[in-house]
């Protein structure tokens, strides 16, 4: 494949200067042509009245006009140069600001331009810098929390392994603890990988039309053994007809699984699974009959690595929030009037 030849870049100020100079040149050339035509038309009069020719009536105006055109041309070029420089100076400031975003300078600027287009561009750059700053801060916090969460089970595994090695602990009891911590570590790594996946997925990619009621039933069936172990029953509050929705089935299933798994951790006797189609949205909720969520914890339940009383890794509900937002919806958590927590997913109907 042949590579294209690199085009020589031209600065905007050079383009403005060249364009204005060309316009002036053709304007003055046209003026000179008109003047020459006028002289030729006037020459018969000069021939009839020789005194005009003797006094240089035809020569001096031509010299004066030509000299004036030359002076005007030089002045116009100089003025155009400085005007072009004043036009490109704000663009240069924006270029330096944009280059600073790459190395991590996300602080918005306070530039004030008179031109509307430059103001709009500056606002767009400031918004982008702010969003990148938030994302950078979230990523740093994520890696710090992830490192802490991974370190805890690893240290526990190491301590129990050393205890077995030096004969300080009962091998059977220590092995059970190591297996528990290993399972916790595996679950945490799986959640971290899933977060990375959903943060980089497009919801329209591989989206299909599925029956949300069927997905919720399947999710409940997968966790039926855990519910039976805790003597917890599922109550289904569904519409009579199927609810068909275009979504990424894998992601929606994971969101339902996480909500049901969270409810199983706190429920006493039953979990209510609800799914109804409204006029302009679909409302899905998972409710338990536990003690509810601590009011101090409630505003933070969807934050990554935030663990309330009895929480696991602090990632499950944040995954739910990410998945729902990927589909253009939102999720909320409240304490029901009859006790227990209720998580509600609202998905828009498009």
Place of tokens 């275009």: 246
Q: Which residues, in sequence order, are CB contacts of 283 under 8 Å at separation 6+?
A: 274, 275, 276, 277, 344, 345, 346
169-197, pLDDT tens digit by residue? 888 888 888 888 888 788 778 777 777 77
Residues 6+ apart with CB under 8 A from 236: 216, 217, 220, 273
Q: What class is the 117-198 domain? A: mainly alpha
At a CB cut-off of 8 Å and minimum separation 6, what does 251 contact?
A: 198, 201, 203, 323, 326, 327
Residue showing tokens 């002045």: 75
The two tokens of residue 42 are 């006037």
208-348 to CATH, choices 3.30.460.80, 1.20.810.10, 3.30.465.10, 3.30.565.10: 3.30.565.10
Q: Is-contact 335 308, C-beta < 8 A?
A: no
What is the arrangement of strands in the sheet containing 330-335, beginning at the earlier edge strand?
233-238, 270-277, 281-288, 341-348, 330-335
Domain edges within the chain: 12-105, 117-198, 208-348
Using left for φ > 0, alpha for ψ between -120 and 50, and beta otherwise, residue 260 falls in alpha
CA dist 299 and 257 (Å) reads 22
What is each CA distance from 119 to 11, 97, 110, 288, in whole angstroms? 21, 14, 11, 52
- Which pair of structure tokens corresponds to residue 96? 């330096």
* pLDDT of 132 higher than 70: yes
Q: What is the pLDDT of residues 51-99, one digit of tens each?
A: 444 444 445 555 555 666 666 667 666 766 776 677 778 888 888 888 8
pLDDT tens profile 9-37: 445 556 666 666 666 676 666 666 666 66
Q: Tell me the HSE value of 124 on the side-chain side, using a 13 A CA sphere.
A: 7
pLDDT digit string, tens, across residues 310-325: 556 678 898 899 899 8
User: What's the pTM value of the predicted model, to 2 decimals?
Assistant: 0.60
Chain centroid to Cα 60, Å, comes to 70
Q: What would the DSSP string read from start to end of 253-274?
A: HHHHHHHHHHHHHH-SSEEEEE
Average pLDDT over residues 283-309: 86
Q: Within a 10 A sphere around the Cβ of 125, how many other Cβ atoms?
A: 17
């Amino acid at each position: 494949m042949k590579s294209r030849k690199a085009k020589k870049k031209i600065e905007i100020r050079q383009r403005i200067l060249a364009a204005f100079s060309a316009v002036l040149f053709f304007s003055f050339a046209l003026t000179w042509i008109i003047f020459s035509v006028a002289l030729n038309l006037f020459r018969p009069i000069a021939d009839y009245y020789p005194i005009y020719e003797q006094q240089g009536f035809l020569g001096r105006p031509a010299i004066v006009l030509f000299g004036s055109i030359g002076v005007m041309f030089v002045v116009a070029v100089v003025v155009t140069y400085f005007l072009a420089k004043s036009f490109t100076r704000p663009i240069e400031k924006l270029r330096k600001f944009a280059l600073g975003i790459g190395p991590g300078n996300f602080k918005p600027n306070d530039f004030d331009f008179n031109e509307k287009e430059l103001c709009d561009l500056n606002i767009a750059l400031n918004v982008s810098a702010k969003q990148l700053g938030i994302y950078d801060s979230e990523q740093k916090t994520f890696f710090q929390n992830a490192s802490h969460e991974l370190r805890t089970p690893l240290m526990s595994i190491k301590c129990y392994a050393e205890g077995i090695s030096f004969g300080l602990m009962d091998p059977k009891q220590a092995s059970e603890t190591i297996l528990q911590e290993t399972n916790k570590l595996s679950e945490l790594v799986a959640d971290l990988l899933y977060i990375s996946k959903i943060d980089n997925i497009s919801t329209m990619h591989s989206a299909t039309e599925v029956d949300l009621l069927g997905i919720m039933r399947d999710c409940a069936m997968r966790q039926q053994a855990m519910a039976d172990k805790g003597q917890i029953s599922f109550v289904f509050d569904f519409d009579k007809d199927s609810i068909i929705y275009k979504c990424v089935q894998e992601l929606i299933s994971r969101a339902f699984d996480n909500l049901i798994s969270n409810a199983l951790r706190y429920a006493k006797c039953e979990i209510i699974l609800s799914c109804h189609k409204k006029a302009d949205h679909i409302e899905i909720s998972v409710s338990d009959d536990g003690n509810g969520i601590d009011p101090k914890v409630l505003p933070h339940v969807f934050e990554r690595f935030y663990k309330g009383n009895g929480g696991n890794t602090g990632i499950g509900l944040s995954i739910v929030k990410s998945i729902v937002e990927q589909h253009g919806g939102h999720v909320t958590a409240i304490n029901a009037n009859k006790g227990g927590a209720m998580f509600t997913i609202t998905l828009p109907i498009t």
